[in-house]
Structure 1
Amino acid sequence: MSDFTTTLSDTIQETCQESIAHPFISQLSSGELPRATFRYYLIQDHHYLTAFNQLHQLIADHLPEPDATTLRHLGEGEDLARAKMHREINLTSAEIAATPVAPNAYAYITHMYYQLNQYGVAAATAGLLPCYWLYSQVAQKLADHHSPVPLYQEFFDSYAAADFTASTEQMKAIVHSADEPARQQMTRAFNVSCYYEKQFWQMAFEQQQWTN
């Protein structure tokens, strides 16, 4: 069996480089990003992660052990780090609930559910992987560039941590174990998720809103 995740490496590396060059990430690293922009990001990311975590549970119901248990555990991984950031900027659950899901976040969430409902577990799992792999890569490549804003550095540190690196490798292993016939659609799902990851930075940077 060929190393399937290796075939995805060029796409994730390209996405990583484009992400690092994006003003949202570059200003987060330099400390120049307005606090209101990061607040917007955290709200939209909470909406995304809620669906992301639910998908872990739905997909796990169709996976054999031990992958099912691993995926359920991975779906709970970012909650504590995010909760701490929310407290630091006084971001309440009421404010999050009152803020609608922005267009690009809505499209990304819809894409992930579409993979599960239309193509099945393998494609849906591949659609989850870029969120792990990209954030891990970005954090590692920016490890030597410490943001002067502690909250922003905390964001990068959470994704450079050994436990998140381990989670990324676990997710890659689950994706790699899929059968050969599913891999064409898995690649497509992975690539579309990479596209939406880049769009998520832009959405946050411009604080995208719905227009009539």
Structure 2
Amino acid sequence: MTQTLTEELWAESVAPVYAQILEHPFLAGLTDGTLPREAFAHFVVQDSHYLRDYARALAVCAAKAPGEQEVRAFADDAIGALAAEQGMHAEFLTAFGRSAAEAAAAPVLPTTRAYTSYLLATVYGGSFAEAVAAVLPCYWVYAKVGEQLLARSSPDPLYAKWIAVYGDESFQSVVRRVLELTDRLGEQLGAAERRRVHEHVHTTTRYEWMFWDAAWRGESWPV
């Protein structure tokens, strides 16, 4: 039986990196409650920066989408990304004694800058399929991580809340919709565009690992 595009992408471009994501001490610390609060605060601040540009990338996907249904779906997801940044993150920041204004004023750090620059360059410069490929791992990896961690949750209420958001069925259903779209796009791709799709998915999946690792290390600009 012929593989769907998402089956192909998972086996070749996502699974090897995802296995290392699950083993990362940042996620282990989330579930056993030992993750230092400063590492989580670093993640939340950088994720606030990331989500603003991710929303822009999703809006470009909406602009490039060939059908009305896809336009609406990606536009809604862009709004949802901004809502997450303004709502959920504001709540987490309050728990750390920080304000949204302070987070917005914090520097965009190297991994965040590299990831969002790659995203925006790809969605603006590539085809619709390439744009979807670039934004896909943020949906897919978070859904898989949320699903995996939900059963274990965390003894820390703050970390348990984060896990619950991404393990929740409402988020999982959004991701299934994007995966179904990816498979439909896969039926129309030529060999060269298919290779580019694989490259984008592999690259942004690696950036997902790097994003958690940057928070774990307390990354800053070296100079």
TM-score (norm 1): 0.93
Residue aligning to 1:180:
189
Contact in 1 for aligned 2:90/2:99 (Cα 8 Å): no
Separation (CA, whole Å) in 2 of partners of 1:83 and 1:172: 29
Alpha-carbon distance between aligned partners in 2 of 1:74 and 1:97, rounded to the nearest angstrom: 21
- Which of 11, 26, 29 pairs up with 1:27? 29
5 Å-filtered alignment, 1:3-14, equals 3-10=4-11, 11-14=13-16
Structure 1: gaps of 5 or more residues: none
Q: Which moved more, 1:71-80 or 1:16-25?
A: 71-80
Q: How far is 1:171 from its partner?
A: 1.4
Aligned to 2:77: 74
Q: Do 1:56 and 1:72's aligned partners in 2 also have CA atoms closer than 8 Å? A: yes
Matched residues in 2 for 1:106 and 1:97: separation?
14
**Preserved CA contact (<8 Å) 2:93 2:100:** no
Matched-pair contact (CA < 8 Å) for 2:112–2:211: yes
1:71 maps to amino acid:
F
Q: How does 1:139-154 map to 2 (within 5 A)?
A: 139-154=146-161
1:169, 1:81 → 2: CA distance? 22
CA RMSD of aligned residues (A): 1.7
Shift of 1:2: 5.4
**How many Å apart are 1:176 and its aligned residue?**
2.3
Of stretches 159-168 and 14-23 in structure 1, the one that deviates more from structure 2 is 14-23
1:65 maps to which of 68, 78, 82: 68
Q: How far off its partner does 1:211 sit?
A: 1.5
Q: Distance in 2 between matches of 1:167 and 1:86?
A: 26
Tell whether the 8 Å contact from 2:143 to 2:172 is kept in structure 1 after alignment. yes
1:113 aligns with 2:115: no
Per mean C-alpha deviation after superposition, the further-off stretch among 100-109 and 2-11 is: 2-11
Is the CA contact 2:26–2:213 (under 8 Å) kept in the aligned structure 1?
yes
Using the size of structure 2 for normalisation, the TM-score is 0.89
Counterparts of 1:76 and 1:84, CA distance in 2: 18
Q: Distance in 2 between matches of 1:110 and 1:53?
A: 13
Identity of counterpart residues, as a percentage?
A: 25
Please state if 1:93 is matched with 2:124.
no
Task: Determine if the alignment matches structure 1 residue 42 to structure 2 residue 27.
Answer: no
Structure 2 distance, partners of 1:166, 1:141, is 16
Tell me the distance in 1 between the aligned counterparts of 2:98 and 2:4.
Answer: 42
The one-letter code of the counterpart of 2:201 is F
Q: Which one of the candidate residues 181, 204, 222 is aligned to 1:193?
A: 204
How far apart, CA to CA, are the structure 2 residues paired with 1:185 and 1:167? 24
Query: What is the count of residue pairs matched by the alignment?
Result: 212
List gaps (5 residues or longer) in structure 2: none
- Farther-moved stretch of structure 1 (48-57 vs 1-10): 1-10
The alpha-carbon deviation at position 173 of structure 1 amounts to 2.1
> Whole-Å Cα distance in 2 between the matches of residues 146 and 120 of structure 1?
38
User: What do the CA deviations read for 1:71-92 (whole angstroms, capped 9, x no partner)?
Assistant: 1112233414334333333431
8 Å contact 1:105–1:200 — kept in the other structure?
yes
> How far did 1:146 drift?
2.4
